[in-house]
Amino acid sequence: MDARAVIAGPGAARALRDGATGRLMIALRGGGYVRLGTEDWLLITGVRSRLGPLSLVVAGLDGRTVRPGWRARCGGDALVLGPLRIALGGLELGGLRAAAGARAVDGAAFDAALAACPPPPAALTAGLVALRRGDEDRGVATLAGRGEGLTPAGDDVLAGYAAWRHAAGAPAGLAGRAAGRCSPIGLAYLRCADRGELVEPAAALLAALAAGDAPLSACRARALRVSWGASSGVALLWGMAAAAASPRSPS
């Protein structure tokens, strides 16, 4: 069976090294998460899906079933995944880096975005307070791996925090401290966030917040909440808000 990759997020592009091997670890509808090597991850997804930093958007997946355990091998301008050969020639690289300039914090924009989403659960309160105070070590220790799902909400909070810090010109470098604490996929997304790389709707929200546009921030917060995971989208926002309040972020 043949398919064609059309666009790759920045994390996916880095993982697609010639000779890299791995397996499909988690099957999802129309794709799934592939681990290459010991720590690189790809999210194989169809053309109608949101683009994230780990996404490899593939044309020709519609109606095809993928199975956990399929071997993966990258090389010769193709990713071979079980019986599926995904051509990589002419692959476009997606730009998802959060725009720089997240320095001057507009409280009204954050208030509008946060009001459009549910509040964080009590289990995340201590970690969020630590991040807002600038105590990143405690924040990582308290939040990493906390919650359910492929990317626990605590991991997503850290990713939102890291992405805002990068956009503010003061990268936090949280992934090294979170290694062994985050879920494997959560850690992969956190490594991307340390570089300022986010899923499309989160990058759009960050830009609206940095611009101080309250109505647009509320609109994009609602879009992020419903378009990226059960809790992942709103948890990214909670992390951005904590970073904006932190004394470690430039003002």
What are 86-131's pLDDT values in tens digits?
999 888 887 666 655 555 566 899 999 999 999 999 999 999 999 9
- Tens digits of residue pLDDT in 118-169: 999 999 999 999 999 999 999 999 999 998 878 999 999 999 999 999 999 9
User: Looking at the whole model, is its pTM more than 0.75?
Assistant: yes
pLDDT band, very low/low/confident/very high, at 176 (cuts 50, 70, 90): very high
162 near 174, Cβ under 8 Å?
yes
Domain boundaries, the chain: 2-93, 107-245
Task: Please give the pLDDT value at position 91.
Answer: 86
Nearest CA to 95 out of 196, 240, 186 is that of 196
Of 2 and 188, the one with more pLDDT: 188
Task: Please give the pLDDT value at position 187.
Answer: 97
pLDDT over 80 (residue 189)? yes
In whole angstroms, give the CA distance from residue 151 to residue 205: 20
Q: From the CB of residue 1, how many other CB atoms can be counted at a distance below 10 Å?
A: 11
Rounded to the nearest 10°, the torsion over CA 173, 174, 177, 180 is -130
DSSP strand pairing (31-36 vs 21-28): antiparallel
- Tens digits of residue pLDDT in 193-244: 999 999 999 999 999 999 999 999 999 999 999 988 778 999 999 999 999 9
Nearest CA to 171 out of 191, 157, 185 is that of 191
Nearest CA to 189 out of 62, 73, 106, 96 is that of 96
Name the phi and psi angles at 214, rounded to 5. -65, -50
